[in-house]
Amino acid sequence: MTLFIDVNTLTNLISKVGLPNFMQQLLDYMQSDFKKWEQFDKSARTAAHSSEGVIELMPIADQHQYSFKYVNGHPNNPKNGYSTVMAFGAFADVASGYPLLLSELTLATAIRTAVTSVMAAKALAKPKVDVMAMIGSGAQSEFQAIAFHCLMGVNTLRIFDIDSKAMDKLELHLKQYPKLTVIRCKNAEHCCQGADIITTVTADKNYATILTADMVSPGVHINGVGGDCPGKTEISAELLTLGKIFVEHEPQTRVEGDIQQLPPEHPVNAIWQVIAGKSKGRDNLQQITIFDSVGFALEDFSTLRYLYDLATQFEIGERVELVPSLSNPKDLFGLINTSGAINNASVCA
């Protein structure tokens, strides 16, 4: 039987361990998998683009386990009552192809995206960080704020969004974290003042310039999260050329990330090599580091692997017969032949 985790099951799992612990444990899984980067069969995601958004499939496997995620990105969805991003995924045994887990990944993707940002910042930011600027207060914002507060010790968060109601929502939710000071800013430039880390999490599907060179001080680390598909950017090309850029899977990021604005020969660095201790992150305290985050399948693999282990540990989740259980594996037809589904075998349409 295949383990099934729906939204309610996932929120139950999170409540069992607490969100900060859930994030920390997921970070441990993710760092472990990134250190084994070379062992994975990797590819850029397959995308179906439309004028309204994108639907993507994200597969990856090592010698033992396989996963994929179905995910969309439709910036106009909230106007129609849908989330901008929705996702589900599967986790399977490579040796047999048997699906071990089918899970919701909308909420889980929001958490894993924030955890990925922290993973990159731990590898690239200055040793001591206290202030983060965050441009964008949509569905991803709380997760980024909580992850950086609880996992990296960020105690001051400067926020800005063109939608004042989105900032209201973010401030309300973050009141649960009394040690996190939230400063509401009048514009993006004001937001970035005094920041050790700048995180951009906007959703519009267009060539936008959210962050420019004059807004960034020496030594700042930038997490560019919102620029994640062709024709969608946040960071100015000038600023990109001033920083040391790190990416997940370069073939994918060249097409989807902020670096789509740069010539294909512009140098970038693999974040996995820094996490694995194979290369250096920032070169000095004055250097600007940039994580051009587009989201990669390995992060979802880590998430599904963690969810499967956690649900198994707490014995939470429904067991569903997603694929047939056959007494004779060669007799698939027998499932309908004995079920009464065939009422008149002598009549063919």
Strands 197-200 and 131-135: parallel
For the entire predicted model, the pTM comes to 0.94
Contacts of 89 (CB under 8 A, 6+ apart): 67, 68, 69, 70, 102, 103, 105, 300, 303, 304
Residue 228 is among the residues annotated as catalytic for this protein: yes
Most trustworthy range by pLDDT among 80-84, 157-161, 340-344: 157-161
Q: Using an 8 Å Cβ cutoff, are 228 and 252 in contact? A: no
CA pair distance 225, 236, nearest whole angstrom: 14
Sign of the alpha-carbon torsion through 239, 275, 251, 300:
negative
Average confidence (pLDDT) over 52-74: 95
CA pair distance 104, 14, nearest whole angstrom: 13
pLDDT at 230: 84
pLDDT confidence of 294, banded at 50, 70, 90? very high
Residue 261 has pLDDT above 90, yes or no: yes
pLDDT confidence of 229, banded at 50, 70, 90? confident
- Per-residue pLDDT reduced to its tens digit, 142-177: 999 999 999 999 999 999 999 999 999 999 999 999
pLDDT at 337: 78
CA pair distance 314, 322, nearest whole angstrom: 21
Contacts of 270 (CB under 8 A, 6+ apart): 37, 246, 247, 250, 279
Nearest to 282 by CA among 153, 129, 109: 129
User: How many residues does this entry show for the chain?
Assistant: 349
Residue 347 has pLDDT above 70, yes or no: no
- The three-class DSSP label of residue 142 is helix
Q: Is 213 left (phi over 0), alpha (psi -120 to 50) or beta?
A: alpha
Mean residue pLDDT across the chain:
94
Strands 131-135 and 99-104: unpaired
Contacts of 81 (CB under 8 A, 6+ apart): none
pLDDT at 49: 87
- Alpha-carbon Rg for the chain, nearest whole angstrom, is 22
Q: Using an 8 Å Cβ cutoff, are 223 and 294 in contact? A: no
Q: What percent of the chain has pLDDT over 70?
A: 96
CA pair distance 102, 1, nearest whole angstrom: 11
pLDDT at 349: 57
Other C-beta atoms within 10 Å of 330: how many?
A: 7
Q: Which of 161, 228, 258, 300 is catalytic?
A: 228
pLDDT at 345: 55
- Per-residue pLDDT reduced to its tens digit, 178-219: 999 999 999 999 999 999 999 999 977 677 889 999 999 999
Nearest to 155 by CA among 117, 194, 119: 194
Average confidence (pLDDT) over 212-230: 93
